[in-house]
Structure 1
Amino acid sequence: MASDQEFVSFVTDQLEAAGDVFAKKMFGEYGVYLDGVFFGLICDNRFFVKPTEGGRAFIGKPAEAPPYPGAKNSFLIEDKLEDRDWLCELVKITVKELPPPKRKK
């Protein structure tokens, strides 16, 4: 089941205070970016964040699951989707640990 635009808009709206957040359609689902850095996925109306040490420390005991069959586990964010401040902080912590986007030639 593909994610619906309403859920994608909800997640990106929750993250608007973190910076320039957008979702890009990829293979029927969505990649989520902050300031050009790919940090998460929306698959089957579920929100996943790339696992980082800082994110793990911030969450405590994160739920982990693969966003799609054959993928590595990511942090599955379910209970805190309504908490904008918590969600924005998690995403900022995560993006700090990820490599910057590659410049296109």
Structure 2
Amino acid sequence: MPSSEKFRDYVLAQFKGELRVTPRKMMGEYIFYADGKIFGGIYDDRLLVKPVAAAKAMLPNAKLQLPYDGAKPMLRVTAEQIADNGLLVRLLNAMLPELPAVKKK
């Protein structure tokens, strides 16, 4: 089931423009980029982020979930955590140094 634009817009609004977060629609889902790095996305109306050390430390109770069959597991950000836009901004700031740049084709 594709993710809704309404949920995508809600999640993006939680970042309040403090960081340059951009979505890219891909097969009905949304991949999220910041500073040219993929940090997560929306899959089946769930916000999932890459399980880097900083994300694991800030979301210690987060469950690993598959964004789609055959993918690597990612950490699920709960509805309560999404509503805390300060947390999302801190999470992204902590994650960015650990994420690789997107490879050029």
Same fold (TM over 0.5): yes
Alignment of 1:93-104 (within 5 A): 93-102=94-103
Alignment of 1:1-105 (within 5 A): 1-78=1-78, 79-102=80-103
| In 2, Cα distance between equivalents of 1:58 and 1:17 | 21
SS of equivalent to 1:39 = strand
> For each residue in 1:46-70, what CA deviation from the matched residue of structure 2 results, as whole angstroms up to 9, or x when unmatched?
1000010111112222211011112
Aligned-pair identity in percent equals: 35
> For each residue in 1:33-86, what CA deviation from the matched residue of structure 2 results, as whole angstroms up to 9, or x when unmatched?
112211101011110000101111122222110111121110001131100001
Checking the alignment, whether the CA contact within 8 Å between 1:18 and 1:92 is kept in structure 2 is: no
Unaligned runs of 5+ in 1: none
Unaligned runs of 5+ in 2: none
> For each residue in 1:2-27, what CA deviation from the matched residue of structure 2 results, as whole angstroms up to 9, or x when unmatched?
01111001111112344111110012
Letter in 1 for 2:38: F
TM superposition score normalised by structure 1: 0.89
TM superposition score normalised by structure 2: 0.89
| In 2, Cα distance between equivalents of 1:17 and 1:86 | 14
Aligned residues: 104
Ranges of 4+ aligned residues in structure 1 off by more than 4 Å: none
